Amino acid sequence: MLTSRYDEAFRFAHDLHRRQTRKGTPIPYISHLMSVAAIVIEHGGTEDQAIGGLLHDAAEDQGGLETLEEIRRRFGDEVAQIVRDCTDSWVEPKPEWRVRKETYLAALPGKSTRSLLVSLADKTHNAEAILFDYRELGDTLWERFSGGAEGTRWYYRNLAGVFDEAMPGRLSDRLGRAVSQFGG
């Protein structure tokens, strides 16, 4: 059951990401956050995990540790830990793309299953959005991504492998199916 905490988290996420769009599109970023929260809920997540889905990019994209502390104050330690676990960089400027991704991949198996579900939902939604756009745009799609075609495919294939080991099941299978269709 979702309570007014979820409503508050939705408003907070929308306020934080109001001016942000999905990479290379006019789609409001909140659509991604809503989708991640929905995937978490559909796969048995708790309200804290659903809130984590709404806020998983808040600290990384909108204020760093200060935003994380605001999340902790408003929504508690568990939600803050989920957001922390979903964040791949705390410094500006961010480290080089490949280094960030390798570090994130290496740390994933040690994360709690609470955080892994949110991360898996995030990566699954991203992979399905990439696949949808790839089918429409072809190889020009990869220009949106810092890792280009080769790096993005490498990253998502590795994510699928890590999640298949750490959280086997319907959702990791769904991620793997999407990634297997990226081409290359």
Residues 12 and 72 in one domain: yes
- The reported pLDDT for the residue numbered 94 is 82
Say which DSSP state 96 is in. Answer: P
Last-in-domain residue among 61, 86, 111: 86
Does residue 92 belong to any structural domain of this protein? no
When pLDDT is averaged across residues 125-129 and rounded to a whole number, the result is 97
What total of structural domains would you count in the chain? 2
**Chain center to CA of 68:** 16
Residues 36 and 110 in one domain: no
Does residue 142 belong to any structural domain of this protein? yes
Reported pTM = 0.95
Report residue 12's pLDDT band, with 50, 70 and 90 as the boundaries: very high
**Nearest to 119, CA basis, from 77, 73, 60:** 60
Residue 57 structural domain: 4-86
Does residue 91 belong to any structural domain of this protein? no
> How open is the CA angle 106-146-157, to the nearest 5 degrees?
45
Residues 144 and 112 in one domain: yes
Identify any residues that bridge with 21 across adjacent strands, giving them in sequence order.
28
Residue 95: strand, helix, or coil:
coil
When pLDDT is averaged across residues 149-177 and rounded to a whole number, the result is 97
36-91 pLDDT, tens digit each? 999 999 999 999 999 999 999 999 888 889 999 999 999 999 999 999 999 988 77
Cα–Cα distance for residue pair 9/15, rounded to 1 Å: 10
